[in-house]
Protein backbone atom coordinates (compact mmCIF):
# COMPACT_ATOMS: atom_id res chain seq x y z
CA UNK A 1 0.00 0.00 0.00
CA UNK A 2 1.09 3.56 -0.72
CA UNK A 3 0.43 6.73 1.20
CA UNK A 4 -2.16 5.74 3.78
CA UNK A 5 -2.58 7.19 7.25
CA UNK A 6 -3.09 4.73 10.08
CA UNK A 7 -6.81 5.59 10.21
CA UNK A 8 -7.06 4.98 6.47
CA UNK A 9 -5.20 1.70 6.69
CA UNK A 10 -7.39 0.40 9.52
CA UNK A 11 -10.62 1.43 7.77
CA UNK A 12 -9.60 -0.08 4.45
CA UNK A 13 -8.68 -3.37 6.11
CA UNK A 14 -11.96 -3.47 7.99
CA UNK A 15 -13.94 -2.82 4.78
CA UNK A 16 -12.10 -5.58 2.90
CA UNK A 17 -12.80 -8.05 5.69
CA UNK A 18 -16.62 -7.76 5.60
CA UNK A 19 -18.56 -10.95 4.66
CA UNK A 20 -19.48 -9.71 1.18
CA UNK A 21 -19.43 -13.04 -0.66
CA UNK A 22 -21.93 -14.57 1.80
CA UNK A 23 -24.22 -11.60 1.20
CA UNK A 24 -23.95 -11.89 -2.59
CA UNK A 25 -24.81 -15.59 -2.43
CA UNK A 26 -27.80 -14.99 -0.17
CA UNK A 27 -29.11 -11.99 -2.11
CA UNK A 28 -28.65 -13.61 -5.54
CA UNK A 29 -30.70 -16.60 -4.41
CA UNK A 30 -33.75 -14.29 -4.30
CA UNK A 31 -35.20 -13.47 -7.70
CA UNK A 32 -35.70 -9.72 -7.82
CA UNK A 33 -36.66 -9.05 -11.42
CA UNK A 34 -38.02 -5.51 -11.75
CA UNK A 35 -41.57 -6.86 -12.23
CA UNK A 36 -41.44 -9.54 -9.50
CA UNK A 37 -43.07 -7.63 -6.65
CA UNK A 38 -42.97 -10.61 -4.25
CA UNK A 39 -39.26 -11.15 -4.82
CA UNK A 40 -38.58 -7.42 -4.46
CA UNK A 41 -40.34 -7.47 -1.07
CA UNK A 42 -38.11 -10.36 0.04
CA UNK A 43 -34.87 -8.76 -1.12
CA UNK A 44 -35.94 -5.44 0.43
CA UNK A 45 -36.37 -7.25 3.77
CA UNK A 46 -32.92 -8.85 3.51
CA UNK A 47 -31.33 -5.52 2.64
CA UNK A 48 -33.18 -3.79 5.48
CA UNK A 49 -31.70 -6.35 7.91
CA UNK A 50 -28.22 -5.83 6.50
CA UNK A 51 -28.33 -2.02 6.40
CA UNK A 52 -29.65 -1.91 9.98
CA UNK A 53 -25.96 -2.31 10.87
CA UNK A 54 -25.57 1.39 9.98
CA UNK A 55 -26.89 4.21 12.17
CA UNK A 56 -29.64 6.60 11.05
CA UNK A 57 -33.25 6.37 9.95
CA UNK A 58 -33.96 3.40 7.71
CA UNK A 59 -37.27 2.89 5.88
CA UNK A 60 -38.79 1.33 2.79
CA UNK A 61 -40.49 4.04 0.76
CA UNK A 62 -43.67 3.38 -1.14
CA UNK A 63 -42.97 3.39 -4.88
CA UNK A 64 -44.72 5.86 -7.17
CA UNK A 65 -46.89 4.15 -9.79
CA UNK A 66 -45.65 4.63 -13.34
CA UNK A 67 -47.86 5.17 -16.37
CA UNK A 68 -47.08 3.16 -19.49
CA UNK A 69 -48.87 2.46 -22.74
CA UNK A 70 -49.90 -1.13 -23.47
CA UNK A 71 -49.99 -2.81 -26.88
CA UNK A 72 -53.60 -1.65 -27.40
CA UNK A 73 -52.52 1.96 -26.89
CA UNK A 74 -54.15 2.23 -23.44
CA UNK A 75 -52.43 4.06 -20.60
CA UNK A 76 -51.96 1.73 -17.63
CA UNK A 77 -50.31 2.17 -14.24
CA UNK A 78 -47.52 -0.20 -13.26
CA UNK A 79 -46.73 -1.00 -9.63
CA UNK A 80 -43.16 -1.11 -8.39
CA UNK A 81 -41.41 -2.53 -5.35
CA UNK A 82 -40.54 -0.30 -2.41
CA UNK A 83 -37.25 1.61 -2.35
CA UNK A 84 -34.82 1.37 0.57
CA UNK A 85 -33.87 4.77 1.99
CA UNK A 86 -31.44 5.42 4.84
CA UNK A 87 -30.59 8.87 6.21
CA UNK A 88 -27.55 9.27 8.46
CA UNK A 89 -26.46 12.49 10.26
CA UNK A 90 -28.23 15.01 8.01
CA UNK A 91 -26.54 17.88 9.90
CA UNK A 92 -22.93 16.72 9.38
CA UNK A 93 -20.66 19.09 7.41
CA UNK A 94 -20.02 16.81 4.39
CA UNK A 95 -23.17 15.33 2.83
CA UNK A 96 -22.93 12.39 0.44
CA UNK A 97 -25.30 10.15 -1.52
CA UNK A 98 -24.85 6.40 -2.09
CA UNK A 99 -27.11 4.59 -4.51
CA UNK A 100 -27.70 1.10 -5.80
CA UNK A 101 -30.55 -0.99 -7.15
CA UNK A 102 -32.05 -4.19 -5.82
CA UNK A 103 -33.77 -5.22 -9.05
CA UNK A 104 -32.31 -7.33 -11.86
CA UNK A 105 -33.26 -7.84 -15.50
CA UNK A 106 -34.06 -11.52 -14.85
CA UNK A 107 -37.77 -12.12 -14.20
CA UNK A 108 -39.27 -15.21 -12.58
CA UNK A 109 -39.81 -16.79 -16.01
CA UNK A 110 -36.13 -16.47 -16.96
CA UNK A 111 -34.00 -19.64 -17.02
CA UNK A 112 -31.15 -17.91 -15.15
CA UNK A 113 -31.96 -18.22 -11.43
CA UNK A 114 -28.98 -19.78 -9.63
CA UNK A 115 -25.36 -19.07 -8.86
CA UNK A 116 -22.55 -21.46 -9.77
CA UNK A 117 -18.76 -21.31 -9.80
CA UNK A 118 -17.26 -20.91 -13.27
CA UNK A 119 -13.79 -21.37 -11.82
CA UNK A 120 -12.06 -20.61 -8.58
CA UNK A 121 -12.92 -17.02 -7.69
CA UNK A 122 -15.37 -16.40 -10.54
CA UNK A 123 -19.06 -16.60 -9.64
CA UNK A 124 -21.81 -16.81 -12.26
CA UNK A 125 -25.31 -15.80 -11.19
CA UNK A 126 -28.23 -13.39 -11.67
CA UNK A 127 -27.28 -9.97 -10.33
CA UNK A 128 -23.95 -11.06 -8.80
CA UNK A 129 -22.24 -8.12 -10.52
CA UNK A 130 -25.26 -5.94 -11.40
CA UNK A 131 -25.55 -5.21 -8.65
CA UNK A 132 -25.89 -7.36 -5.56
CA UNK A 133 -22.10 -7.46 -5.39
CA UNK A 134 -22.07 -3.67 -5.62
CA UNK A 135 -24.54 -3.32 -2.75
CA UNK A 136 -22.32 -5.56 -0.59
CA UNK A 137 -19.32 -3.34 -1.45
CA UNK A 138 -21.24 -0.16 -0.53
CA UNK A 139 -22.36 -1.59 2.81
CA UNK A 140 -18.88 -2.90 3.68
CA UNK A 141 -17.29 0.49 3.00
CA UNK A 142 -19.93 2.38 5.01
CA UNK A 143 -19.69 -0.01 7.98
CA UNK A 144 -15.94 0.45 8.07
CA UNK A 145 -16.14 4.24 7.75
CA UNK A 146 -18.71 4.33 10.58
CA UNK A 147 -16.11 2.85 12.93
CA UNK A 148 -13.49 5.44 12.00
CA UNK A 149 -12.95 8.70 13.92
CA UNK A 150 -13.98 10.62 10.75
CA UNK A 151 -17.52 9.24 10.76
CA UNK A 152 -18.99 12.32 12.46
CA UNK A 153 -17.72 14.52 9.64
CA UNK A 154 -20.06 12.92 7.09
CA UNK A 155 -23.76 12.51 6.73
CA UNK A 156 -25.40 10.64 3.89
CA UNK A 157 -28.44 9.15 2.23
CA UNK A 158 -28.45 5.61 0.87
CA UNK A 159 -31.06 4.86 -1.80
CA UNK A 160 -31.47 1.33 -3.13
CA UNK A 161 -34.28 1.44 -5.65
CA UNK A 162 -36.36 -1.37 -7.10
CA UNK A 163 -36.79 -0.09 -10.66
CA UNK A 164 -33.37 0.89 -12.04
CA UNK A 165 -33.41 -1.75 -14.77
CA UNK A 166 -36.70 -0.40 -16.09
CA UNK A 167 -35.60 3.24 -16.13
CA UNK A 168 -36.08 4.42 -12.49
CA UNK A 169 -39.28 6.28 -13.34
CA UNK A 170 -40.78 5.34 -9.97
CA UNK A 171 -37.70 6.23 -7.92
CA UNK A 172 -36.68 9.35 -9.89
CA UNK A 173 -38.33 11.78 -7.42
CA UNK A 174 -36.59 10.07 -4.47
CA UNK A 175 -33.22 10.16 -6.25
CA UNK A 176 -33.61 13.85 -7.09
CA UNK A 177 -34.73 14.70 -3.55
CA UNK A 178 -31.78 12.89 -1.91
CA UNK A 179 -29.21 14.16 -4.45
CA UNK A 180 -30.07 17.82 -3.83
CA UNK A 181 -27.21 19.71 -2.18
CA UNK A 182 -24.85 16.74 -1.87
CA UNK A 183 -21.07 17.18 -2.09
CA UNK A 184 -20.72 13.98 -4.14
CA UNK A 185 -22.47 10.72 -4.99
CA UNK A 186 -21.22 7.18 -5.45
CA UNK A 187 -23.29 4.61 -7.32
CA UNK A 188 -22.39 0.92 -7.28
CA UNK A 189 -22.89 -0.27 -10.85
CA UNK A 190 -20.20 -2.77 -11.87
CA UNK A 191 -17.02 -1.36 -13.40
CA UNK A 192 -17.31 -0.64 -17.12
CA UNK A 193 -14.61 -3.22 -17.89
CA UNK A 194 -13.49 -6.35 -16.01
CA UNK A 195 -10.17 -4.58 -15.27
CA UNK A 196 -11.97 -2.05 -13.09
CA UNK A 197 -12.19 0.86 -15.56
CA UNK A 198 -14.94 3.29 -14.55
CA UNK A 199 -17.65 4.69 -16.84
CA UNK A 200 -17.10 8.43 -17.43
CA UNK A 201 -19.44 10.41 -19.67
CA UNK A 202 -22.75 8.77 -20.54
CA UNK A 203 -25.37 9.72 -23.11
CA UNK A 204 -28.93 10.37 -22.00
CA UNK A 205 -31.75 8.01 -22.88
CA UNK A 206 -35.39 8.47 -23.74
CA UNK A 207 -38.15 5.97 -24.42
CA UNK A 208 -41.18 7.12 -26.35
CA UNK A 209 -44.43 5.37 -27.28
CA UNK A 210 -46.51 7.02 -29.96
CA UNK A 211 -50.10 5.83 -30.23
CA UNK A 212 -51.53 6.40 -33.71
CA UNK A 213 -55.31 6.57 -34.07
CA UNK A 214 -56.50 6.18 -37.67
CA UNK A 215 -59.90 5.13 -39.00
CA UNK A 216 -60.91 1.63 -40.01
CA UNK A 217 -62.70 0.87 -43.27
CA UNK A 218 -63.28 -2.13 -45.57
CA UNK A 219 -60.06 -2.93 -47.42
CA UNK A 220 -61.94 -3.56 -50.68
CA UNK A 221 -65.19 -1.61 -50.61
CA UNK A 222 -64.18 1.80 -49.24
CA UNK A 223 -60.48 1.86 -48.39
CA UNK A 224 -60.40 5.58 -49.22
CA UNK A 225 -62.54 6.22 -46.12
CA UNK A 226 -59.90 4.59 -43.92
CA UNK A 227 -56.86 6.22 -42.32
CA UNK A 228 -54.14 3.61 -42.03
CA UNK A 229 -52.54 3.87 -38.59
CA UNK A 230 -49.92 1.23 -39.40
CA UNK A 231 -48.64 3.19 -42.41
CA UNK A 232 -48.49 6.40 -40.39
CA UNK A 233 -46.49 4.59 -37.68
CA UNK A 234 -44.14 3.17 -40.32
CA UNK A 235 -43.69 6.62 -41.88
CA UNK A 236 -42.91 8.03 -38.45
CA UNK A 237 -40.42 5.20 -37.73
CA UNK A 238 -38.52 6.06 -40.92
CA UNK A 239 -38.44 9.74 -39.99
CA UNK A 240 -37.17 8.86 -36.52
CA UNK A 241 -34.36 6.91 -38.18
CA UNK A 242 -33.36 10.01 -40.13
CA UNK A 243 -32.83 11.96 -36.86
CA UNK A 244 -29.66 9.93 -36.26
CA UNK A 245 -26.51 12.01 -36.22
CA UNK A 246 -23.22 12.44 -34.44
CA UNK A 247 -24.16 12.51 -30.77
CA UNK A 248 -27.58 10.89 -31.19
CA UNK A 249 -28.51 7.23 -31.62
CA UNK A 250 -32.10 6.32 -32.51
CA UNK A 251 -33.67 2.88 -32.34
CA UNK A 252 -37.30 2.45 -33.47
CA UNK A 253 -37.80 -0.89 -31.71
CA UNK A 254 -41.39 -2.04 -32.16
CA UNK A 255 -44.67 -1.38 -33.96
CA UNK A 256 -47.77 -2.97 -32.45
CA UNK A 257 -51.32 -2.87 -33.67
CA UNK A 258 -52.73 -3.58 -37.12
CA UNK A 259 -55.87 -5.42 -38.12
CA UNK A 260 -57.16 -8.38 -40.18
CA UNK A 261 -56.09 -8.20 -43.83
CA UNK A 262 -59.50 -7.00 -45.03
CA UNK A 263 -59.64 -4.00 -42.68
CA UNK A 264 -57.72 -0.72 -42.84
CA UNK A 265 -56.00 -0.67 -39.42
CA UNK A 266 -57.09 2.12 -37.10
CA UNK A 267 -54.49 1.63 -34.35
CA UNK A 268 -50.72 1.29 -34.10
CA UNK A 269 -48.19 1.90 -31.33
CA UNK A 270 -44.62 2.80 -32.25
CA UNK A 271 -41.86 2.50 -29.64
CA UNK A 272 -38.52 4.26 -29.99
CA UNK A 273 -35.37 4.65 -27.87
CA UNK A 274 -33.13 7.71 -28.39
CA UNK A 275 -29.77 8.47 -26.75
CA UNK A 276 -28.52 12.08 -27.01
CA UNK A 277 -24.98 12.81 -25.86
CA UNK A 278 -25.58 16.36 -24.60
CA UNK A 279 -28.46 18.37 -23.11
CA UNK A 280 -28.47 20.57 -26.25
CA UNK A 281 -28.92 17.59 -28.53
CA UNK A 282 -31.68 16.35 -26.24
CA UNK A 283 -33.53 19.68 -26.50
CA UNK A 284 -33.14 19.82 -30.29
CA UNK A 285 -34.35 16.25 -30.59
CA UNK A 286 -37.42 16.99 -28.50
CA UNK A 287 -38.35 19.80 -30.90
CA UNK A 288 -37.66 17.64 -33.94
CA UNK A 289 -39.94 14.91 -32.58
CA UNK A 290 -42.79 17.39 -32.04
CA UNK A 291 -42.39 18.70 -35.59
CA UNK A 292 -42.26 15.22 -37.12
CA UNK A 293 -45.36 14.09 -35.29
CA UNK A 294 -47.30 17.12 -36.48
CA UNK A 295 -46.19 16.47 -40.07
CA UNK A 296 -47.08 12.79 -40.05
CA UNK A 297 -50.43 13.44 -38.36
CA UNK A 298 -51.28 15.89 -41.10
CA UNK A 299 -49.95 13.83 -44.00
CA UNK A 300 -51.90 10.72 -42.95
CA UNK A 301 -54.87 12.50 -41.39
CA UNK A 302 -54.47 10.57 -38.13
CA UNK A 303 -54.36 11.54 -34.46
CA UNK A 304 -51.25 10.80 -32.40
CA UNK A 305 -50.59 10.69 -28.67
CA UNK A 306 -47.03 10.73 -27.37
CA UNK A 307 -46.09 9.24 -24.04
CA UNK A 308 -42.72 8.76 -22.39
CA UNK A 309 -39.75 11.08 -22.66
CA UNK A 310 -36.10 11.49 -21.82
CA UNK A 311 -36.05 9.81 -18.40
CA UNK A 312 -32.25 9.73 -18.22
CA UNK A 313 -30.58 13.09 -18.92
CA UNK A 314 -27.13 13.07 -20.62
CA UNK A 315 -24.18 12.91 -18.24
CA UNK A 316 -21.24 14.81 -19.70
CA UNK A 317 -17.98 14.81 -17.71
CA UNK A 318 -18.04 18.20 -15.93
CA UNK A 319 -14.95 19.66 -14.17
CA UNK A 320 -16.60 18.86 -10.79
CA UNK A 321 -17.18 15.25 -11.86
CA UNK A 322 -13.60 15.06 -13.10
CA UNK A 323 -12.44 16.20 -9.66
CA UNK A 324 -14.28 13.28 -8.07
CA UNK A 325 -12.85 10.82 -10.62
CA UNK A 326 -9.37 12.09 -9.79
CA UNK A 327 -10.04 11.54 -6.10
CA UNK A 328 -11.07 7.93 -6.79
CA UNK A 329 -8.06 7.43 -9.04
CA UNK A 330 -5.70 8.70 -6.33
CA UNK A 331 -7.35 6.44 -3.73
CA UNK A 332 -6.84 3.55 -6.15
CA UNK A 333 -3.20 4.44 -6.72
CA UNK A 334 -2.58 4.54 -2.96
CA UNK A 335 -4.09 1.05 -2.72
CA UNK A 336 -2.02 -0.28 -5.61
CA UNK A 337 -5.01 -0.28 -7.99
CA UNK A 338 -4.89 1.35 -11.40
CA UNK A 339 -8.18 3.17 -12.01
CA UNK A 340 -9.05 4.78 -15.33
CA UNK A 341 -12.34 5.79 -16.93
CA UNK A 342 -13.87 5.92 -20.37
CA UNK A 343 -17.12 7.07 -21.95
CA UNK A 344 -19.92 4.50 -21.98
CA UNK A 345 -23.00 4.10 -24.21
CA UNK A 346 -25.05 2.83 -21.27
CA UNK A 347 -27.20 4.80 -18.84
CA UNK A 348 -27.99 4.41 -15.15
CA UNK A 349 -29.03 6.36 -12.06
CA UNK A 350 -25.74 8.25 -12.33
CA UNK A 351 -27.38 10.17 -15.20
CA UNK A 352 -30.21 11.36 -12.98
CA UNK A 353 -27.88 12.25 -10.11
CA UNK A 354 -25.52 14.21 -12.39
CA UNK A 355 -28.52 16.15 -13.72
CA UNK A 356 -29.01 17.47 -10.16
CA UNK A 357 -25.57 19.11 -10.42
CA UNK A 358 -23.92 16.56 -8.11
CA UNK A 359 -20.59 15.00 -9.13
CA UNK A 360 -21.02 11.24 -9.31
CA UNK A 361 -18.89 8.19 -9.99
CA UNK A 362 -21.47 5.56 -10.86
CA UNK A 363 -19.35 2.44 -11.35
CA UNK A 364 -17.94 1.97 -7.85
CA UNK A 365 -19.23 -1.63 -7.75
CA UNK A 366 -17.45 -4.89 -8.47
CA UNK A 367 -15.36 -6.09 -11.35
CA UNK A 368 -17.17 -8.67 -13.47
CA UNK A 369 -18.93 -8.74 -16.79
CA UNK A 370 -21.51 -10.12 -19.29
CA UNK A 371 -24.20 -8.35 -17.28
CA UNK A 372 -27.83 -8.63 -18.44
CA UNK A 373 -27.01 -12.13 -19.77
CA UNK A 374 -26.95 -15.66 -18.32
CA UNK A 375 -23.17 -15.43 -18.41
CA UNK A 376 -23.04 -12.58 -15.87
CA UNK A 377 -20.05 -13.07 -13.59
CA UNK A 378 -18.40 -11.58 -10.54
CA UNK A 379 -14.65 -11.65 -9.89
CA UNK A 380 -14.83 -12.41 -6.18
CA UNK A 381 -11.50 -10.78 -5.27
CA UNK A 382 -12.91 -7.48 -6.48
CA UNK A 383 -15.34 -7.37 -3.52
CA UNK A 384 -12.54 -6.66 -1.04
CA UNK A 385 -10.66 -4.52 -3.54
CA UNK A 386 -13.58 -2.24 -4.34
CA UNK A 387 -14.71 -2.03 -0.71
CA UNK A 388 -11.23 -0.72 0.09
CA UNK A 389 -11.44 1.76 -2.80
CA UNK A 390 -14.82 3.05 -1.63
CA UNK A 391 -13.85 3.25 2.03
CA UNK A 392 -10.75 5.28 1.24
CA UNK A 393 -12.63 7.58 -1.15
CA UNK A 394 -15.33 8.22 1.47
CA UNK A 395 -12.76 8.90 4.21
CA UNK A 396 -11.04 11.48 2.03
CA UNK A 397 -14.34 13.13 1.17
CA UNK A 398 -15.08 13.21 4.91
CA UNK A 399 -11.69 14.84 5.44
CA UNK A 400 -12.67 17.61 3.04
CA UNK A 401 -10.81 16.48 -0.10
CA UNK A 402 -11.83 18.46 -3.17
ZN1 LIG B 1 -27.17 -2.10 -12.78
Predicted confidence band of residue 261 (pLDDT cuts 50, 70, 90): very high
Name residues with Cβ closer than 5 Å to ligand 1, which is an ion: 130-131, 189
From ligand 1's centre to the CA of 189, what distance in Å? 5
CA distances from 326 to 158, 319, 331, 362, 373 (A): 23, 10, 9, 14, 32
Mean pLDDT of 285-301: 98
pLDDT tens readout for residues 37-76: 999 999 999 999 999 999 999 999 998 889 899 999 999 9
Give whole-number Cα distances, 255 to 208, 215, 294, in Å: 12, 17, 19
Coil, strand or helix: which one is 68?
strand
- Dist. CA 163 → ligand 1 center (Å): 10
Collapsing DSSP states into helix, strand and coil, what is residue 81?
coil
Burial class (CB in 10 A: 0-12, 13-18, 19+), 286: middle
The answer for residues whose C-beta is within 8 angstroms of residue 293's C-beta and 6 or more apart is 210, 236, 304, 306
In 3D, which of 256, 252, 251, 259 has the Cα closest to residue 212?
Answer: 256
348 Cα: distance to centroid of ligand 1 (angstroms) = 7
**Residue 363 CA to ligand 1 centre (angstroms):** 9
Interval between CA 147 and ligand 1 midpoint (Å): 28
Say whether pTM exceeds 0.75. yes
Average pLDDT rounded to a whole number, residues 216-237:
97
| pLDDT for the residue numbered 64 | 84
CA 101 to ligand 1 centroid distance, Å:
7
pLDDT at 231 over 90: yes
Q: What is the DSSP letter of 54?
A: S
- Compute, in angstroms, the gap from residue 130 CA to the centroid of ligand 1: 5
Please give the pLDDT value at position 240.
Answer: 98
Closest among 231, 312, 315 to 273, alpha carbons compared: 312
| Mean pLDDT rounded to a whole number for the chain | 96
- Checking if the pLDDT of 1 tops 60, the result is no
Distance, in Å, from the CA atom of 248 to the CA atom of 15, rounded to the nearest integer, reads: 41
Ligand 1 centroid, distance to 346 Cα (angstroms): 10
Centre of ligand 1 to C-alpha 299, Å, is 42
Question: What is the per-residue pLDDT for 2?
Answer: 63
- How much of the chain, in percent, has pLDDT values that exceed 70? 99
Ligand 1 centre to CA of 265 (Å) is 39
**Is a pLDDT exceeding 90 seen at residue 3?**
no
Q: How far is the CA of 353 from the centre of ligand 1 (A)?
A: 15
Contact 376, 125 (CB under 8 A): yes
Residues contacting 296, CB < 8 A, separation 6+: 232, 235, 236, 239, 302, 304
Query: Sign (positive/negative) of CA torsion 341, 342, 343, 347?
Result: negative
**What region does 386 belong to: left with phi over 0, alpha with psi -120 to 50, or beta?**
alpha
**pLDDT higher than threshold 90 for residue 16:** yes
Amino acid sequence: MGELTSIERETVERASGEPMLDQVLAWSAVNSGSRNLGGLERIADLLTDAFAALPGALRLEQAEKVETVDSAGRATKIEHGRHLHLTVRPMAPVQLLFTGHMDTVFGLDHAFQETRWLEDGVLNGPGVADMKGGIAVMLAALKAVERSPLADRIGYDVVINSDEEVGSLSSAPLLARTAAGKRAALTYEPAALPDGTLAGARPGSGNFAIVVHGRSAHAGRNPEDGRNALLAAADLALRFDRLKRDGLTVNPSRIEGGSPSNVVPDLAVLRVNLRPRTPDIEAETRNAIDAMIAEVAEAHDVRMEVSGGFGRPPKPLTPEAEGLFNLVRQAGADLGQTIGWQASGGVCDGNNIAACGVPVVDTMGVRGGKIHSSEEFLIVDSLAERAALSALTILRLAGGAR
